[in-house]
Amino acid sequence: MSKVNQLFDSELNIVNLGLESFSKELKSQKKKVVHVDWRPVAGGNKKLAALLEKLS
């Protein structure tokens, strides 16, 4: 068995970043998952993120 197949045959501990629906789907399959409600700084706006960085 390849190492990739071995990985997916083992019990996974999953950290989900962003889409909560993905973690809900995993939970419905009885997988161990922790959801992190992450979003890019300033909604992904690079100019605003740079300005916020200067404040810190």
Number of domains in the chain: 1
pLDDT in tens, 13-52: 999 998 999 999 999 999 999 999 998 999 999 999 999 9
CATH code for position 44:
3.40.50.720
Residue 31 DSSP one-character state: -
Q: What is the pTM of this model?
A: 0.60
In sequence order, the 6+-apart residues with CB closer than 8 A to the CB of 14 are: 23, 26, 31, 32, 33, 34
Domain of residue 28, residue span = 3-55
